[in-house]
Amino acid sequence: MRKPTIVGVSGASGTPYAAAVLRGLIDAGESIDLVVSRAARLTILDETGHAFRDAHWKDDLTTWLGRDLGGADIVHWPAGDLAAGPSSGSYPARGMVVVPASTAACAGIAIGLSKDLLQRAAEVHLKERRRVVVVPRETPVTRSHLEHLIALHDAGAVVLPASPGFYGAGASASAQQLIDFVAGKILDALGVEHTLFRRWTGELGAR
Ligand SMILES: Cc1cc2nc3c(=O)[nH]c(=O)nc-3n(C[C@H](O)[C@H](O)[C@H](O)COP(=O)(O)O)c2cc1C
């Protein structure tokens, strides 16, 4: 049975994190169901200079990821399609990641708003007790942001802030190395193998 990882991209800054996770899942041979919120189209356009359109998602995803999708098993669902597969608990899936997660998406998922397919699919995953990884990107944060993250944690989600560590690549780390660090931590949380960063060896200064 096909058991995809649902990748929800919401409208926070940090679309390179989503691209790195998608590349990592493709490289690991994982099946992917992709949901891109309406606001995420603005951040993708702002951060990459490229549009993401439902009608042309394959071409636009190829441009965004900067690689041929080859035989990758990717299903795209429009964010407004509340009848889509991932809106039901009977739809098989191995887990979901919301990357990046806007404060609005965190709030909506935490309170069960289900205002679009991304929020509904995440809520379904939580109620089915499936793996959910939420990657918030906002700073500084309000009390209400923190309360929504606590609610997500208590509902079983892994709250994984987009907070890169420097110990793998050192102070001269490139932006891509910092992005890959966060993407690698996300793949760890999803249980997907990767080589996106060097793991801590117990040796200070080892590169
Ligand atoms: C260019 C741009 C950058 C944004 N960056 C952030 C951000 O880093 N974090 C955040 O929580 N919201 C950010 N927002 C605001 C969200 O897009 C907005 O709250 C939106 O309603 C989120 O909707 P969604 O959760 O359905 O994607 C940004 C908006 C734009 C246009």
Domain with residue 57: its CATH number is 3.40.50.1950
Nearest atom within ligand 1 for CA of residue 115: 26
Classify residue 141: in a domain, yes or no.
yes
Domain around 102: 5-190
| Nearest residue (CA) to ligand 1, atom 14 | 12
Tell me how many domains the chain contains: 1
Q: According to the model, what pLDDT value does residue 170 have? A: 81
Classify residue 199: in a domain, yes or no.
no
Low-confidence residues in the chain, pLDDT < 50:
none
| Nearest residue (CA) to ligand 1, atom 9 | 12
Ligand 1 centroid to Cα of residue 105, in Å, is 9
Classify residue 46: in a domain, yes or no.
yes
Q: According to the model, what pLDDT value does residue 205 have? A: 80
* Closest C-alpha among 135, 126, 71 to residue 93: 126
| Nearest residue (CA) to ligand 1, atom 19 | 104
Torsion sign, CA atoms 143, 146, 148, 151: negative
Classify residue 20: in a domain, yes or no.
yes
Classify residue 202: in a domain, yes or no.
no
Q: According to the model, what pLDDT value does residue 201 have? A: 87
Ligand 1 centroid to Cα of residue 202, in Å, is 38
- Ligand 1 contact via 40 beta carbon (within 6 Å): yes
Nearest atom within ligand 1 for CA of residue 47: 1
Classify residue 37: in a domain, yes or no.
yes
**42-91 per-position pLDDT tens digit:** 999 999 999 999 999 999 999 999 999 999 999 999 999 999 999 999 99
Q: Which residue, chain included where needed, has tokens 């001269």? A: 172
- Ligand 1 contact via 8 beta carbon (within 6 Å): no
Q: What is d(CA 79, CA 4) in angstroms, rounded to the nearest whole number?
A: 17
Classify residue 201: in a domain, yes or no.
no
- Ligand 1 contact via 114 beta carbon (within 6 Å): no
Ligand 1 mutation pick, 102, 111, 138, 139, max ligand atoms within 8 A of CB = 102
Nearest atom within ligand 1 for CA of residue 102: 11
Classify residue 105: in a domain, yes or no.
yes
Nearest atom within ligand 1 for CA of residue 106: 25
Question: Which pTM value belongs to this model?
Answer: 0.98
